[in-house]
């Protein structure tokens, strides 16, 4: 992966208002792979049942999808994102979403994304399909 692209993606995530609001941190990035982490904070991320809100978990998944999709230097946007929620994390758990590209054509790219806690418990799994726009990542 081009080092200037890698630095640019890290910088964009650090400055992204939504990522900052939820405490999403890009921790690993290479071509076809990214890992994003966040701390599950019930006071900000719970639903009406005092469990992790699906939207908070989806935000973590989507940030991993967003970053892995740009890892080849081309803008990739979501076509479909299918999430299966498996378990609710414990309060204060560090959650890690790992996204791996498993296929790519001229117009689409497929990704598998899994969220685990520090004990390795599967919290959510995802299969996503991105549309490859053919446009270079603009912020490099």
- Going through the chain in order, the beta strands assigned E by DSSP cover 25-30, 33-39, 74-85, 94-104, 108-116, 122-136
pTM exceeds cut of 0.95: yes
pLDDT computed for residue 95 by the predictor: 98
Look-up of token digits 């405490």: 23
CA 70 to chain centre: 11
pLDDT (tens digit, 9 = 90+) per residue, 78-130? 999 999 999 999 999 999 999 999 999 999 999 999 999 999 999 999 999 99
pLDDT-based confidence at 36, cuts 50/70/90?
A: very high
**Collapsed DSSP state (helix, strand, coil) of residue 4:** helix
Q: Is 24 left (phi over 0), alpha (psi -120 to 50) or beta?
A: beta
pLDDT computed for residue 12 by the predictor: 98
- Give the mean pLDDT of the chain: 97
Domain boundaries, the chain: 3-136
Q: Does domain 3-136 have CATH number 3.10.129.10?
A: yes
DSSP per residue, 77-104: EEEEEEEEE--PPPTTPEEEEEEEEEEE
pLDDT computed for residue 86 by the predictor: 97
pLDDT (tens digit, 9 = 90+) per residue, 44-82? 999 999 999 999 999 999 999 999 999 999 999 999 999
């Amino acid at each position: 992966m081009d080092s200037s692209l890698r630095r640019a993606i890290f910088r964009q995530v650090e400055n992204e208002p939504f990522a900052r609001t939820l405490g999403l941190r890009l921790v690993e990035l290479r071509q076809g792979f990214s890992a994003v982490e966040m701390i599950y904070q019930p006071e900000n991320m719970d639903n009406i049942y005092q469990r992790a809100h699906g939207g908070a978990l989806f935000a973590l998944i989507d940030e991993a999808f967003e970053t892995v999709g740009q890892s080849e230097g081309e803008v990739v946007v979501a076509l479909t994102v299918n999430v299966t929620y498996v378990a609710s994390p414990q309060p204060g758990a560090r959650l890690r979403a790992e996204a791996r590209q498993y296929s790519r054509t001229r117009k689409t790219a497929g990704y598998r994304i899994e969220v685990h806690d520090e004990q390795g418990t599967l919290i959510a799994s995802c299969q996503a399909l991105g549309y490859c726009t053919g446009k270079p990542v603009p912020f490099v």
